């Protein structure tokens, strides 16, 4: 019927079935499923110009479209569905969903009978729709979060083996800087740690320049002056300070001079105590894990550096009364923590290697056979270099030649015995000790092991602590027995110094954990070797900055009753419900869409 028009009759259907009217008129076509006094949902597909509708219909159509488009993203409907819904509403509230022609023909007659187009109804409709649209608009716009701005902090970790720069960022608009702090960037300084520049201190300052220039690029220019810059030096500088305090002062002066040339807010350089290093490492791990904020059981921190190693954990049977020097107390987010922490100077991986080799070379011979180095490994080394550290300087054999030939034999069990010799288990004046007469409470809870613990175990493919300890030892035994040529061929990209030492390092780590700290085959699986947590490096630097900037409150901060998204969603849902309620309340005024179509 290409030219026919379907026309509705005003007879009302008494049953509740939904009527479908189909209309084809030149270019206009409408297929509308309109609820006939049933309250069933509207569904329509229409190709119809809104201008061809009545004034109320146009108003409803426009208002509905505006209302739907003002919904937040999470609630928004597709544009086509919104258009359809709005046109359907308008059509149903007009006197006929059928055709323009039909509307025009029927208009006069319906106007007299239908109270729908009375001025009062129109005003109520307009006010209702405007109120709902206003409610949602206010919810979305007025409570809209401001564009995110950040604050920054820079910490330089001046370690014994190298220096690293970390840039942290956190949301600027949070009160008292309580927003979550994340690592934005890190930069590894080229060359050795600053303590190695004792004979040329100026170079210590110069070595930091490249990373500091990088920091200038990473921190937005307008934030430079308010960005705090800290330098913390650890065991390398502790040792230099013990050995030669004026040399350590000169290194610090050079470093300070270099750092003050940059536009950041320089907050000073200092040597961290071993206790600080351990405690701030623990804070970092538990802050990044969000265990502090949520008041959850904390994770112990195991940190292995080049010159010192730290163990820090909370234990139920440690209240600080036994060996108070190992106790650090914190009140964070409303919770009290009594932390056990100890730093073993000289038990970082590089100094422990020196101590082990010092033990092996006590005879002062020209050849030293080393079970901790691979078979086939051979190198000429200098006695004075080996003994040039306060950790071993008093043990230098008298009458030894200048150099010795260092020969690897790759025997894990012998290596383990040599490593054990650097620990003293003979005396303990406390209820229990780790080693060297140092008190240690019973181990408790999960542990995160980072820095060299991770570098070494990751290289050796031994980070999975669910693997039984005996199997780990067996793998390491095979690795140590592998010929040096084969090792270098298998790992062409790895620095030879690191590569040569991984057999020793793995053996040292297992010995330190099991013999030193008393981890058993069972509790070994409580350890997790970690490099980063949620993108931030595990280490003392973040905890240090959080402490100095007071970014962890002692008391739990008040939180708003609802986050922004929750607030907008609730208001939007209420608005939609009001809208539905409003439409339903106008039920007596609903037009009857059940006219029988007639062919004209």
Window 496 to 535, contacts with ligand CTP (CB under 6 A): 498, 505
Binding mask 169-208 for ligand CTP (x = CB under 6 A): ------------------------x---------------
102 alpha-carbon distance from chain centroid:
64
How far is it, in rounded angstroms, from Cα 130 to Cα 582? Answer: 12
Using CB positions, name the residue nearest to ligand CTP: 159
Q: Is residue 146 a contact partner of residue 256, using CB atoms and an 8 Å limit? A: no
Does residue 278 belong to the site contacting ligand CTP (CB under 6 A)?
no
E strand segments, 346-382:
367-370, 378-382
User: Rounded distance, CA 19 to CA 33, Å?
Assistant: 6
Least distance (Å) between residue 281 CB and ligand CTP: 10
Element (H, E) at 448: strand 447-451
Annotated binding-site residue? 310: yes
- The backbone torsions φ and ψ at residue 341, rounded to the nearest 5 degrees and listed phi first, read -145, 140
Regarding 348 and contact with ligand CTP (CB under 6 A), the answer is yes
DSSP letter string, 277-308:
HHHHHHHHHHHHTTTTTTTPPP-EEEEE-SSE
What is the Cα–Cα distance from 73 to 78, expressed in whole angstroms? 10
Determine which residue in the list 106, 350, 370, 537 makes contact with ligand CTP, applying CB under 6 A: 350
Q: Is 530 helix (H, G, I), strand (E, B) or coil?
A: coil
Nearest-approach distance from CB 211 to ligand CTP, in angstroms: 15
Of 157 and 411, CB closest to ligand CTP: 157
Residues 24-43 that bind ligand CTP (CB under 6 A): none
Q: Residue 308 annotated as binding?
A: yes
Q: Does 357 bind ligand CTP (CB under 6 A)?
A: no
451 binding ligand CTP? (CB under 6 A): yes
Number of residues lying near ligand CTP (CB under 6 A):
21
Q: Is 162 in the site for ligand CTP (CB under 6 A)?
A: yes
What does R_g of the chain's alpha carbons equal in angstroms?
Answer: 38
Q: Within its chain, how far is the Cα of 347 from the centroid? A: 31
Give the binding range for ligand CTP (CB under 6 A) out of 343-351, 385-393, 402-410, 436-444. 343-351
The piece of 10-18, 306-314, 324-332, 361-369 that touches ligand CTP (CB under 6 A) is 306-314
Beta bridge partner(s), residue 405: 367, 380
Q: Select from 105-113, 120-128, 216-224, 234-242 the region that touches ligand CTP (CB under 6 A).
A: 234-242
Residue 113 CA to residue 148 CA, distance in Å, equals: 57
277: annotated active-site residue: yes
Q: Which of 242, 500, 464, 279 is nearest to 377 (CA)?
A: 500
Stretch that binds ligand CTP, among 100-108, 230-238, 322-330, 467-475 (CB under 6 A): 230-238
- Of these residues, 169, 182, 277, 531, which one is catalytic? 277
Known binding-site positions for ATP:
306-310
Residues that bind ligand CTP (CB under 6 A): 159-162, 193, 234-236, 305-308, 348-350, 451-452, 455-456, 498, 505
Summarize the annotated binding site as residue ranges: 306-310
């Amino acid at each position: 019927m290409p030219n026919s028009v379907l026309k509705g009759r005003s007879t009302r259907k008494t049953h509740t079935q939904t009527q479908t009217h189909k209309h084809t008129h030149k270019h206009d076509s409408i297929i509308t499923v309109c609820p006939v006094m049933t309250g069933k949902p509207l569904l329509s597909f229409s190709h119809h110009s809104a201008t061809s509708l009545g004034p109320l219909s146009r108003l409803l159509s426009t208002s509905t479209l505006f209302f739907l488009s003002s919904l937040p993203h999470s609630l928004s409907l597709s544009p086509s569905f919104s258009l359809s819904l709005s046109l359907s509403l308008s059509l149903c509230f007009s006197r006929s969903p059928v055709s323009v022609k039909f509307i025009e023909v029927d208009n006069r007659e319906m106007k007299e009978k239908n109270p729908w187009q009375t001025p009062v109804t129109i005003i109520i409709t307009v006010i209702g729709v405007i109120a709902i649209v206003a409610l949602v608009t206010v919810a979305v716009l007025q409570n809209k979060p401001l564009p995110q701005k950040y604050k920054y902090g820079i910490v330089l970790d001046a370690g014994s083996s190298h220096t690293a720069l970390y840039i942290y960022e956190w949301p600027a608009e949070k009160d008292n800087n309580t927003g979550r702090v994340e690592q934005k960037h890190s930069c590894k300084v080229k060359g050795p740690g600053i303590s190695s520049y004792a004979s040329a201190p100026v170079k210590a300052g110069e070595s930091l320049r490249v990373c500091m220039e990088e920091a200038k690029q990473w921190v937005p220019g307008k934030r430079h002056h308010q960005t705090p810059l800290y330098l913390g030096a650890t065991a390398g500088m502790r040792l230099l300070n013990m050995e030669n305090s004026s040399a350590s002062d000169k290194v610090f002066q050079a470093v300070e001079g270099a750092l003050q040339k940059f536009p950041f807010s320089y907050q000073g350089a200092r040597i961290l105590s071993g206790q600080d290093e351990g405690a701030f490492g623990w804070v970092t791990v538990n802050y990044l894990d969000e265990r502090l904020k949520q008041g959850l059981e904390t994770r112990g921190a195991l940190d292995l550096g080049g010159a010192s190693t730290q163990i820090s954990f909370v234990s139920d049977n440690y209240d600080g009364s036994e060996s108070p020097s190992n106790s650090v107390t914190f009140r964070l987010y409303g919770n009290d923590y009594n932390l056990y922490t100890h730093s073993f100077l000289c038990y970082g991986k590089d100094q422990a290697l020196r101590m082990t080799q010092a033990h092996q070379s006590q005879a002062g011979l020209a050849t030293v056979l080393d079970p901790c180095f691979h078979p086939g490994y051979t190198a000429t080394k200098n006695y004075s270099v080996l003994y040039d550290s306060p950790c071993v300087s008093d043990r230098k054999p008298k009458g030894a030649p200048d150099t010795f030939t260092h020969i690897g034999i790759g025997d894990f069990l012998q290596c383990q015995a040599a490593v054990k010799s650097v620990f003293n288990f003979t005396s303990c004046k406390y209820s229990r000790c780790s080693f060297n007469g140092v008190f240690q409470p019973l181990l408790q809870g999960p542990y995160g092991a980072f820095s060299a613990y991770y570098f070494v175990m990751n290289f050796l493919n031994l980070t999975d602590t669910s693997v039984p300890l005996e199997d780990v030892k067996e793998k390491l035994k095979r690795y140590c027995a592998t010929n040096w040529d084969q090792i270098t061929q298998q790992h062409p990209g790895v620095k030879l110094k690191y590569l040569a030492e991984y057999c020793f390092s793995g053996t040292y780590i297992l010995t330190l954990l099991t013999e030193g700290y008393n981890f058993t085959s069972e509790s070994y699986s409580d350890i997790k070797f970690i490099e980063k947590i949620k993108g931030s490096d595990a280490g003392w630097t973040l905890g240090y900055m959080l402490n100095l900037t007071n970014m962890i409150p002692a008391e739990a901060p008040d939180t708003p009753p609802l986050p922004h998204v929750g607030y907008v969603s609730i208001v939007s849902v209420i608005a939609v419900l009001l809208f539905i309620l409003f439409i339903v309340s106008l039920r007596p005024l609903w037009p009857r869409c059940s006219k029988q179509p007639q062919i004209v």
